[in-house]
Amino acid sequence: MIPYGRQQISEADIQAVVEVLKSDFLTQGPAVPAFENAVSAYCGADYAMAVNSATSALHLACLALGVHAGDYVWTSPITFVASANCALYCGAEIDFVDIDPLTFNLSVQALEEKLHRAEQSSRLPKVIIPVHLCGLSCDMQAIHRLSKRYGFRIIEDASHAIGGKYRGQPIGNCRYSDISVFSFHPVKIITTGEGGLALTNDPDLARRMALLRSHGITREAAEMTREADGPWYYQQIELGFNYRMTDIQASLGLSQLSRMDAFVARRQQLAEFYRQNLSGLPVTVQNQPGDCYSALHLFVIRLQLGECEKSHREVFCRLREDGIGVNLHYIPVHLQPFYQKFGFKPGDYPQAEHYYAEAITLPLYPDLSESQQMQVVAALRDACFAKY
Ligand SMILES: *Cc1c(COP(=O)(O)O)cnc(C)c1O
């Protein structure tokens, strides 16, 4: 089976991990800050907080922004559940903004209309979480402009998007947001096994996330309520978590980071090959606005069902039977059984649901070969048209 995504591990990656295993610190050593400094320097953000997953980073980001019961948080329905769950962890209410049918990202027009309505009913969101689907940046300048007018904060769920650019600058620089979050799960652009990271330019948000990442414990005299009892002393001043990344993971991340630009360039090359070879098939692909350089975590096609002889499900199953490990990113979050209890129902986000009825993720990862891509394209042609 050709998978839809997979990591690339080099000898240098293995060596980097082995070095940490032989060192004094498996966790809370020098590799985590080295990785944080490298990511913040790459992205051009002031502070980086490495954690054990993007899910944890999203949770910390919401907490740092003060999200709590009675608040509203909005995100896209076409995302992994973690983008919405983070608001629920904080006791807030979640709501969704429908997607743009061409970029598959949260629609700025739908957002503007929803904000206008929310203002009239005094239900404006505290935080909006745009998701850079497949590694393609949302229209952050427009969302940022709306945040000034309506007074919400912004967390970029850039889990797919490290190595991508928006308006010529690295995604993650937080120029148009308060916090940006990356994931280092093995299918993402670079990996640490499990892992995530939050970036911000705000020292106060950075301090709060650092505190909550490690039990709410501080060793900084300035943060304590009184003078230290002695050199052993620390204080717990908040209810935090253990969301720390290990040095083993960070060393892998640091080693992977040195190949990240090459990974993304390769993904761009493979995507271009798909675009050229898919012409003539009943599919459309994600629109790439001129001010975006996508990290291309995923390559999603939408079947034009009117021109295809088979159903979405038939095409999907046929591809799997032919050894193509296609996937579907994502099932609209509002249709998940857990979300039904909040009153969401089919029909709430028509563009997202329409997308779900047509989308298929094709294999895309740096080590995918062009002959494998040809195999994917041939299998797709058969799946759409063959009499079987
Ligand atoms: C993968 C992913 C997450 C969660 O990442 P983890 O590191 O697995 O916790 C969150 N949001 C999106 C959009 C993702 O793709």
Is CATH 3.90.1150.10 the right assignment for the domain spanning 260-385? yes
Q: Report cis status (omega within 30 of 0) of the bond before 356.
A: no
Residue carrying the six token digits 């012409």: 279
Question: At CA 107, angle to CA 124 and CA 333, rounded to 5?
Answer: 75
Q: What is the CATH number of domain 2-257?
A: 3.40.640.10
CA distance 74 to 9: 36
Give the distance between the most distant pair of CA atoms in the chain. 79
Active site residue 310: no
The pLDDT, as a whole number, for residue 387 is: 66
- For residue 80, the CA-to-ligand 1 centroid distance in Å is 6
Atom index in ligand 1 nearest the CA of residue 297 equals 15
User: CB-based contacts of 164: which residues, under 8 Å, 6+ apart?
Assistant: 132, 135, 136, 137, 158, 170, 171, 264, 292, 293, 294, 295, 296
Token representation of residue 55: 């899910």
**In this predicted model, what pLDDT tens digit does every residue of 286-301 receive, in sequence order?**
999 999 999 999 999 9
Marked catalytic residue, from 22, 188, 310, 341: 188
Tens digit of pLDDT at every position of the chain (388 positions): 999 999 999 999 999 999 999 999 999 999 999 999 999 999 999 999 999 999 999 999 999 999 999 999 999 999 999 999 999 999 999 999 999 999 999 999 999 999 999 999 999 999 999 999 999 999 999 999 999 999 999 999 999 999 999 999 999 999 999 999 999 999 999 999 999 999 999 999 999 999 999 999 999 999 999 999 999 999 999 999 999 999 999 999 999 999 999 999 999 999 999 999 998 999 999 999 999 999 999 999 999 999 998 999 999 999 999 999 999 999 999 999 999 999 999 999 999 999 999 999 999 999 999 999 999 999 999 999 976 6
Any atom of ligand 1 within 6 Å of the Cβ of 105: no
**In this predicted model, what pLDDT tens digit does every residue of 200-212 receive, in sequence order?**
999 999 999 999 9
Rounded to the nearest 5°, which phi and psi values hold at 27? Answer: -145, 160
Atom index in ligand 1 nearest the CA of residue 184 equals 7
Residue carrying the six token digits 């995302």: 79
The pLDDT, as a whole number, for residue 355 is: 98
Q: Which of 83, 297, 329 to mutate to test the pocket of ligand 1 (most atoms within 8 A of CB)?
A: 83
The pLDDT, as a whole number, for residue 103 is: 98
CA distance 181 to 110: 23
**In this predicted model, what pLDDT tens digit does every residue of 128-185 receive, in sequence order?**
999 999 999 999 999 999 999 999 999 999 999 999 999 999 999 999 999 999 999 9
CA distance 250 to 34: 8
Q: How large is the C-alpha radius of gyration of the chain?
A: 22
Any atom of ligand 1 within 6 Å of the Cβ of 160: yes
- For residue 313, the CA-to-ligand 1 centroid distance in Å is 25
State the DSSP string of 185-211. Answer: -TTSSS--SS-EEEEES-HHHHHHHHH
| The pairing of beta strand 153-157 with beta strand 169-170 | unpaired
Any atom of ligand 1 within 6 Å of the Cβ of 243: no
Q: Which of 55, 86, 129, 191 to mutate to test the pocket of ligand 1 (most atoms within 8 A of CB)?
A: 55
Q: Which of 56, 59, 62, 80 to mutate to test the pocket of ligand 1 (most atoms within 8 A of CB)?
A: 80
Alpha-carbon distances of 159 from 153, 252, 282, rounded to whole Å: 18, 17, 29
Residue carrying the six token digits 């040195």: 258
- For residue 195, the CA-to-ligand 1 centroid distance in Å is 9
Q: What 3-state class would DSSP assign to 246? A: strand
Any atom of ligand 1 within 6 Å of the Cβ of 80: yes
Q: From atom 5 of ligand 1, which residue's Cα is the shortest distance away?
A: 54
Domain range annotation of the chain: 2-257, 260-385
Query: What is the rounded end-to-end Cα distance, in angstroms, of the chain?
Result: 21
Any atom of ligand 1 within 6 Å of the Cβ of 55: yes
- For residue 185, the CA-to-ligand 1 centroid distance in Å is 7
CA distance 234 to 213: 15
